[in-house]
Chains A and B, each alone.
Chain A
Amino acid sequence: DAGVTQSPTHLIKTRGQQVTLRCSPKSGHDTVSWYQQALGQGPQFIFQYYEEEERQRGNFPDRFSGHQFPNYSSELNVNALLLGDSALYLCASSLLGGSSYNEQFFGPGTRLTVL
């Protein structure tokens, strides 16, 4: 049973560019959340997708956008990259209404470096 997978593993971009990160949820899961983890910090919630719609959003600017596909996989897009966007981006999947309350399974993350 494959867990949460993310691609790419590492990415280097320059300021002003755009980036797309991808996530495939754990088998049987229907909800995908994205988190940003800056160096020395805990993960910060960006947004969550369920049934192809953004269900909840954290305190991130509109430069951060997402999408969920019918197969439940998801993309995170960041436009007009800033140096401060350099971080580990984590995807977490879960089953809405599952018996394990709030248990989210995390992928290994994508390390984004903005130069």
Chain B
Amino acid sequence: DQQVKQNSPSLSVQEGRISILNCDYTNSMFDYFLWYKKYPAEGPTFLISISSIKDKNEDGRFTVFLNKSAKHLSLHIVPSQPGDSAVYFCAASADSGGSNYKLTFGKGTLLTVNP
């Protein structure tokens, strides 16, 4: 039973355009959401996060939107750059009374930004 779903295995966009990566979750206990980026032969790198008390968080070219009623979040990258080409993982965490508890990941979306 996958609690975090990334239904698009891959996405291809042109340099300079917007990339939108989507993520759905089923567990209503999740209250913190993160996006990680992973290059081949490297571990996932934290990109941006959002708490369930917010509906938007922005960091430079990256913006994450959270729609709690739809249990959906998305990552927007504007403008997209070739260096953004990587696998993007959506992850979620439930409040268990403390920080740093386990992360539940989606299967990832391979983003390719073409020059």
Interface residues of A in 84-103 (CB under 8 A from B): 90, 92, 94-98, 101-103
- Asked if residues B43 and A106 are in contact (CB atoms below 8 Å), the reply is yes
Stretch of B14-22, B57-65, B101-109 with 4 or more beta carbons under 8 angstroms from chain A? B101-109
Residues of A close to B69: CB separation below 8 A: none
| Chain A interface residue bracket vs B | 20 to 34
Which residues in chain A, 44-62, are within 8 Å of chain B measured between CB atoms?
44-45, 48, 56, 58
Q: In the complex, what residue of chain A is closest to B4 when comparing beta carbons? A: A42
B42 contacts A96, C-beta separation under 8 Å = no
Q: Is the pair B105, A42 in contact by a Cβ cutoff of 8 Å?
A: yes
Query: Is A113 an interface residue when CB atoms closer than 8 A count as contact?
Result: no
Give the residue name and chain of the B residue nearest to A94 (CB): B100
Within 8 A of A (CB), among B48-105: 49, 51, 89, 91, 93, 96, 98-105
Q: Which of A40, A48, A107 contacts B102 (CB 8 A)?
A: A48
- B26 within 8 Å of A by Cβ? no
- Contact of A90 with B105 in the complex, beta carbons under 8 Å: no
B102 with A42: CB separation less than 8 A: no
Q: Could you tell me if B99 and A97 are in contact, using CB atoms closer than 8 angstroms?
A: yes
Distance to closest chain B CB from A30 (angstroms): 10
Supposing A40-B107, A41-B107, A98-B100 touch, asked if A90 and B44 sit within 8 A by C-beta, the answer is yes
Q: Which residue of A lies closest to B9 (CB)?
A: A40
- B45–A103 CB distance below 8 A: no
Q: Which residues of A contact B (CB under 8 A)?
A: 4, 31, 33, 35, 40-45, 48, 56, 58, 90, 92, 94-98, 101-109
